[in-house]
């Protein structure tokens, strides 16, 4: 092939400075014919272009006779050759490039005819045609991107001690985390994808047995007659293991929760020493596999009305467990489809002609050979969206007889004569006390979902720091984590995961400290709020991570999508999130009522002070309009604004309810009508609780670098959740438009700041490489 020089190709020396523009006009393809014509007309009548040059330019710009593809390709090559090495000066307009070419073709100086007027004229043409940016030249000439670099990290240094952060987060459960990390890094724990449901279930059971062999299934202390403190410490260790197992396969974590937490926990907390001695060791070692048969087809959320009966027969000193209707079948029972041998069954206790409400009974459902016990029918629930390593099943009982001693009788017992007795007189209170066993489960689900979100966020962040796509002309492509939209999907969730970590930790501590108390309603409400908040966060974070990794996030081997489908049910099991949030709202309303009706000086004063503070804030323009970063980043402001929203929503919810009840509306209907408002209230409450725990976590951090980093994340959490609900704050006059803008700007700036430390932040979660596992999370 013959290579033409640029001068030959362009045919006239005076066209050299506009050659790049001629090329751009055709190559960029965005100029209409009209514009092309006007470019031609514009160039006409310039005295630096003689008639020959004008004719040549006309030929180049004739819409009726465009240059061929080959000509255009050659023009680019010739411009490129003529311009020489552009790598050091990619910031160049087309006019400047044209000047450089004309200069180089002329030797070292611009040609004599290239006056300042000519330059100004050419610059004006360029601007007029919309080729404004300073990098127009390279954008067009250096179109070929570099070969994509191998996937590797080129990230800023950590500006805090990653190990120190891991220790801070591990907190009181450092030893548990360390031993779970070590265990999961062993050979036994290798992910399986794309195996049959049967094989997956057996794999998960094998893992469960390994975990049990290492003692993680023991929820009860070793000592006989342990103190409340000892039981608390054991429970804490158990719950921390559950949380840490969330780093690996969630089917294992949930089966662990079913076997040891729900089945073992129901025996420990609802049973008495005779049950403990007989069963707990075998349960903890996974020799006796069992489950927690509460949910029925007809009653999932409304468990108080479940229909299975347990009728005492004094003749034979037995209870008869029975499924009266098909709607009373036990459904979704973990371990029921294949592995479970015994179940803690919840049923309405009948004795001596009275019904005493829901109680728990130990019922064998399979013999040693895995055959159903007499009168027991078992059925697989079938394939699910996720968690297919857990064998959920359905159970029907046909007059199944169990000894009287199989009633878990901590809160109620029946004498051989059929006389019922309970330390708790109220059926409702007794029921909710028994349900207290679910609180540890809810806390663990919150913790485990949080861990799963960390895993997905860590993988997506590591991938985003390595994966490159698009970039400035003539430069390497940019890591996708450098794009603001990408940062704004991942960074707020990383901040939330940090905040939630402190909140879950505090909740667990309070649960352990108060577990003995009869009235644990505050911890129960906190568990309900954080279980919902955490599971929704986990769904959102794994979803964002999935989308941020594109197709790679969709591949099972990259671990994000298995986490995504597994956590989906976290919003449903252990209490449907919306139902739990109603429970939270009712608890807040009940506290609110007591604040007034107890007329205790202290609570009233606190309330009035709270009202006054929010009223002041509402009216004081210095606060509603203050947009200074130091104000927005002040923890006091952050705490106040979250509290104010909650107080406001609580007060208005109470008023709305009262108005309806005063108008003789049914309580059921009244609550129904204000349900969306109550949901907002419960969400505001959960966000405030996390905000407070986050601020406390920051305050407690000693190391200045950790404190600085956590403060940045706390600020991001605060701005993120203010921003999400900014409509409410604006509508209610708590912020003015300029403040709303400042909040958004600060949130975006903090996302960019967090991005600088993104890798250290996710690495500090201490998920071992082998457990993280996803190929896209590692350089190659």
Min separation Cβ 29 and its own copies, Å: 3
**How far is Cα 106 from Cα 119, in angstroms, rounded to an integer?**
16
Q: Whose Cβ is closer to its own copies: residue 575's or residue 760's?
A: 575
Pairing of strands 342-351, 290-293: parallel
CA dihedral sign, ordered 408, 410, 412, 416: positive
**How far is Cα 646 from Cα 684, in angstroms, rounded to an integer?**
5
Give me the helix-helix angle, 675-700 and 635-662, nearest 10°.
160
Across-strand partners of 400? 321
What are φ and ψ of residue 741, in 5° steps?
-65, -40
> H/E element holding 348?
strand 342-351
- Are residues 119 and 16 in contact, defined by beta-carbon separation less than 8 angstroms? no
Q: What DSSP line would sit under 405-436, residue for residue?
A: GGB--SS-EE-TT--EE-S---HHHHHHHHHT
Min separation Cβ 581 and its own copies, Å: 9
Q: Whose Cβ is closer to its own copies: residue 260's or residue 573's?
A: 573
Q: Whose Cβ is closer to its own copies: residue 287's or residue 724's?
A: 724
Active centre residues (catalytic): 574
Min separation Cβ 212 and its own copies, Å: 27
**How far is Cα 698 from Cα 691, in angstroms, rounded to an integer?**
11
- Are residues 678 and 583 in contact, defined by beta-carbon separation less than 8 angstroms? no
Nearest residue to 733 via CA among 627, 654, 620, 650:
620
CA dihedral sign, ordered 326, 330, 335, 336: negative
Min separation Cβ 654 and its own copies, Å: 12
Q: Whose Cβ is closer to its own copies: residue 325's or residue 517's?
A: 325
Min separation Cβ 170 and its own copies, Å: 31
Min separation Cβ 108 and its own copies, Å: 27
3-state SS string over 452-476? HHHHHHHHHHHHHHHCECCCCCCCC
Min separation Cβ 102 and its own copies, Å: 23
**How far is Cα 98 from Cα 719, in angstroms, rounded to an integer?**
48
> H/E element holding 267?
helix 265-270
Min separation Cβ 706 and its own copies, Å: 29
Q: Whose Cβ is closer to its own copies: residue 132's or residue 700's?
A: 132
Over its C-alpha atoms, the chain yields an Rg (Å, rounded) of 35
3-state SS string over 628-670? CHHHHCCHHHHHHHHHHHHHHHHHHHHHHHHHHHHCCCCHHHH
**How far is Cα 677 from Cα 22, in angstroms, rounded to an integer?**
63
Across-strand partners of 319? 312, 402
Q: Whose Cβ is closer to its own copies: residue 153's or residue 554's?
A: 554
Task: Please identify which residue in the block is written with the tokens 């371990």.
Answer: 335
Q: Whose Cβ is closer to its own copies: residue 159's or residue 669's?
A: 669
- Are residues 141 and 76 in contact, defined by beta-carbon separation less than 8 angstroms? yes
**How far is Cα 27 from Cα 159, in angstroms, rounded to an integer?**
46
Q: Whose Cβ is closer to its own copies: residue 215's or residue 428's?
A: 428
Task: Please identify which residue in the block is written with the tokens 């049990």.
Answer: 212
Q: Whose Cβ is closer to its own copies: residue 342's or residue 480's?
A: 480
Query: In this structure, what token pair is assigned to residue 556?
Result: 């099972």
3-state SS string over 699-736? HHCCCHHHHHHHHHHHHHHHHHHHHHCHHHHHHCCCCC
**How far is Cα 620 from Cα 399, in angstroms, rounded to an integer?**
69
The answer for residues whose C-beta is within 8 angstroms of residue 242's C-beta and 6 or more apart is 253, 256, 257, 261, 444, 447, 448
CA dihedral sign, ordered 264, 269, 274, 275: negative
Around Cβ 775, how many Cβ atoms within 10 Å? 14
Min separation Cβ 741 and its own copies, Å: 7
**How far is Cα 495 from Cα 461, in angstroms, rounded to an integer?**
13
Task: Please identify which residue in the block is written with the tokens 């799963």.
Answer: 452
Q: Whose Cβ is closer to its own copies: residue 148's or residue 273's?
A: 148
Q: Whose Cβ is closer to its own copies: residue 87's or residue 421's?
A: 421
Min separation Cβ 774 and its own copies, Å: 12
Q: Whose Cβ is closer to its own copies: residue 367's or residue 673's?
A: 673
Q: Whose Cβ is closer to its own copies: residue 285's or residue 748's?
A: 748
- Are residues 161 and 708 in contact, defined by beta-carbon separation less than 8 angstroms? no
3-state SS string over 302-313? CHHHCCCEEEEE
**How far is Cα 578 from Cα 675, in angstroms, rounded to an integer?**
10
Min separation Cβ 573 and its own copies, Å: 7
Min separation Cβ 37 and its own copies, Å: 12
Q: Is 739 helix (H, G, I), strand (E, B) or coil?
A: helix
**How far is Cα 272 from Cα 288, in angstroms, rounded to an integer?**
18
Query: In this structure, what token pair is assigned to residue 505?
Result: 């930790």
Min separation Cβ 129 and its own copies, Å: 9
Task: Please identify which residue in the block is written with the tokens 């209707």.
Answer: 325
């Amino acid at each position: 092939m013959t290579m033409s020089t640029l001068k030959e190709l362009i045919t006239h020396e005076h066209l050299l400075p506009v050659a790049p523009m001629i090329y751009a006009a055709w190559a960029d393809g965005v100029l209409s014919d009209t514009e092309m014509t006007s470019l031609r007309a514009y160039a006409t009548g310039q005295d630096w272009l003689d008639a020959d040059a004008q004719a040549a330019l006309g030929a180049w710009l004739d819409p009726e006779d465009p240059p061929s593809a080959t000509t255009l390709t050659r023009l680019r090559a010739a411009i490129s050759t003529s311009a020489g090495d552009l790598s050091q000066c990619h910031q160049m307009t087309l006019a400047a490039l044209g000047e450089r070419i004309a200069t180089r073709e002329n030797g070292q100086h611009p040609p004599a005819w290239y006056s300042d007027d000519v330059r100004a004229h050419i610059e004006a043409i360029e601007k007029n045609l919309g080729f404004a940016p300073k990098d127009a030249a390279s954008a067009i000439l250096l179109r070929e991107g570099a070969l994509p670099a191998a996937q590797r990290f080129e990230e800023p240094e950590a500006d805090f001690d990653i190990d120190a952060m891991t220790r801070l987060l591990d907190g009181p459960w450092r030893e548990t985390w360390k031993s779970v990390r070590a265990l999961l890094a062993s050979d036994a724990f290798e992910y399986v994808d794309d195996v049959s449901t049967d094989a997956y279930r057996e794999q998960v059971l094998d893992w469960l047995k390994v975990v049990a062999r290492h003692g993680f299934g023991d929820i009860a202390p070793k000592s006989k007659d342990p103190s409340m403190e000892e039981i608390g410490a054991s429970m804490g260790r158990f719950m921390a293991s559950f949380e840490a197992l969330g780093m690996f396969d969630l089917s294992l974590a949930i089966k662990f929760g079913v076997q040891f937490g729900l089945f073992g926990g129901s025996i420990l907390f609802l049973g008495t020493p005779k049950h403990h001695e007989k069963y707990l060791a075998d349960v903890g070692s996974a020799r006796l596999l069992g489950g927690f048969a509460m949910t029925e087809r007809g009653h999932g959320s409304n468990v108080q009305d479940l229909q299975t009966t347990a009728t005492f027969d004094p003749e034979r000193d037995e209870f008869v467990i029975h499924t009266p209707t098909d709607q009373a079948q036990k459904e979704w029972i973990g371990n029921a489809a294949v592995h479970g041998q015994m179940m803690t069954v919840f049923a309405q206790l009948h004795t001596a002609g009275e019904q005493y409400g829901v109680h728990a009974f130990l019922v064998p459902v399979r013999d040693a050979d895995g055959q159903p016990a007499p009168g027991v029918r078992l059925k697989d629930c079938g394939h699910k969206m996720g968690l297919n390593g857990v064998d959920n099943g359905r159970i029907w009982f046909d007059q199944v007889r169990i000894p009287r001693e199989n009633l878990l009788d901590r809160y109620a017992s029946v004498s051989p004569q059929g006389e019922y007795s309970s330390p708790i007189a109220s059926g409702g209170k007794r029921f909710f006390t028994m349900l207290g066993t679910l609180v540890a489960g809810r806390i663990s689900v919150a913790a485990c979902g949080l861990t799963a979100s960390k895993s997905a966020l860590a993988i997506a962040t590591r991938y985003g720091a390595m994966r490159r796509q698009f970039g400035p002309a003539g430069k390497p492509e940019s890591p996708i984590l450098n794009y603001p939209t990408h940062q704004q999907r991942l960074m707020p969730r990383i901040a939330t995961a940090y905040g939630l970590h402190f909140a879950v930790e505090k909740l667990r501590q309070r649960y352990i400290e108060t577990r003995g108390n009869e009235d644990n309603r505050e911890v129960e409400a906190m568990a309900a709020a954080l279980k919902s908040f955490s599971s929704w966060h986990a769904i959102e974070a794994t979803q964002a991570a999935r989308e941020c990794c594109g197709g790679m996030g969709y591949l099972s081997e990259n671990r994000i999508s298995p986490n995504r489908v597994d956590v989906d049910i976290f919003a449903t099991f252990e209490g449907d999130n919306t139902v739990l949030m109603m429970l939270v709202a009712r608890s807040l309303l009940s506290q609110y009522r007591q604040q007034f009706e107890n007329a205790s000086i202290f609570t009233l004063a606190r309330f009035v002070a709270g009202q006054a503070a929010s009223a002041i804030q509402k009216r004081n323009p210095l606060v509603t309009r203050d947009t200074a970063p130091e104000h927005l980043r002040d923890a006091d402001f952050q705490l106040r604004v979250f509290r104010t929203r909650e107080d406001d929503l609580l007060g208005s919810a109470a008023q709305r309810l009262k108005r309806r009840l005063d108008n003789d509306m049914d309580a059921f209907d009244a609550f129904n009508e204000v349900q969306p408002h109550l949901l907002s209230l419960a969400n505001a409450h959960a966000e405030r609780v996390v905000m407070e725990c986050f601020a406390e976590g920051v305050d407690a951090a000693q190391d200045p670098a950790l404190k600085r980093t956590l403060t940045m994340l706390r600020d991001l959490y605060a701005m993120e959740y203010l921003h999400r609900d900014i409509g409410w704050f604006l509508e209610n006059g708590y912020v003015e438009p300029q403040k709303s803008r400042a909040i958004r700007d600060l949130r975006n700036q903090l996302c960019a700041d967090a991005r600088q430390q993104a890798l250290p932040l996710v690495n500090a979660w201490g998920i071992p490489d082998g457990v993280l596992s996803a190929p896209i999370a590692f350089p190659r």
